[in-house]
Structures are given as structure tokens and as C-alpha cells.
Amino acid sequence: MDPKKRIVVLVSGRGSNLQALIEAEKKDYFPGTIALVISDNPDAYALSRAERADIPTCVLDYSTFNSKKEYEAELLKILLGESPDLICLAGYMRIVGKKIIHHFPYRILNIHPSLLPAFPGLEAQKQAVEYGVKISGCTVHLVDEGMDSGPIVLQAACSVWDTDDSQSLADRILEYEHQLYPKAVKLFLEEKLKIVGRKVIREG
């Protein structure tokens, strides 16, 4: 039997999507193991989630680095040392640098709380409410050098109610995120995704 593939998760905040991945791994939902959780924020609650699950953690406190270049160089060094099959961004609040993307082409997944390409960037739920859309949702995509612009792997849609504010919509979308992200990781690790141009095609 082949050893499980290695996943590294990058986090910045509370880590609810990390928790969804942890729960999926416990159930052997995908053929991978979370080998390391890295945070740029020493106070991220996600670190506590990882520690409770006996997953090694690493803190790279962004505020202690002199520049983004210096921070990215240290992050890349750690990632290369881990040799991950997949890197998952789970509430990681920084744009991944070009060098990391070039070292791990189409091996970085992100989940975003909108139906991309609509409402990229920060506060996507607020953008959706203010724009007045009736449907929103979440997207798992491969990371490229742009802002939430990489090839789309999976999407899930949910209604936007007239009474919604950004928080109520965010809470509803989050329920879909927790289902969608493990599913995308499973497809990736089972090598059922083929990239053709901008399209990600599911095989098998």
C-alpha cells in the first residue's frame, strides 16, 4: 500500500476549514495526511486546532520579518523541507509569492467565499451583499500568481437572502466550504483532476 500523500496547510485565523480537513482525514476520506500546519499569525486559533489533533505546527510571525521577501524565503525553505504533495490555504490571509508558486505549480489549493470570478479578494461576502446578488457560494481553485484567479476546481452555490448582512451570508457559505474543500482535496490526491488551459476537468 502506498504511503499517504503529504499535505501542508497554511492558516492565519480561526481555522474552521482546517478543522474540516482534519475531520475528513480522521475518516480516511482522502488518501493524505496533514503533515504540518504553518501560520503567519502566532495567535491564530487554527494552531490550537492542529495541536489538539496532534499535527505539528510552525509559526512564522510575519511581524518579525523585515520584508515580505524575507518571510517568503523562510516559508519556501520550510515547504521544500516538507516535500508536500499538496499545499492547502485555509484562511491564509497573504498572497502566495511567485517563487513558491513556481516551486509548487498547480499543487496549491485555496478556498474562497464567492463564486469566482465574482468578488475576488477580501470581504467577498460583503461585496456580494452590497452588489445585491441573489446567489453566492464558494470556490476551490488552484493558486496562480493573480488574486483568486487560478483554475476553478469545484464550486457550490447558496442563496443570498434579502435580510442578509455580510456575517449571516459568511456563516451560510462557510457550511458549504466545509463540505467542498475536503472533496477537492480528495479529487486532487486521487489524481482525478486534469488541467486543460483554464479548465480543470474531473476524470474517472
- HSE value, Cβ hemisphere, 13 Å, CA-based, for 113: 26
DSSP state of 190: T
Catalytic residue among 102, 103, 112, 178: 112
Give the integer Cα–Cα distance in Å for 113 and 106.
Answer: 20
Q: How buried is 58 (Cβ within 10 angstroms: 0-12 exposed, 13-18 middle, 19+ buried)?
A: middle
Residue 112 among the catalytic residues = yes
> 3-state secondary structure string, 49-104?
HHHHCCCCEEECCHHHCCCHHHHHHHHHHHHHHHCCCEEEECCCCCCCCHHHHHHC
Other residues' Cβ atoms within 10 Å of the Cβ of residue 38: 23
Residue 189 parent element (H or E): helix 166-189
Q: Which residues are catalytic?
A: 112
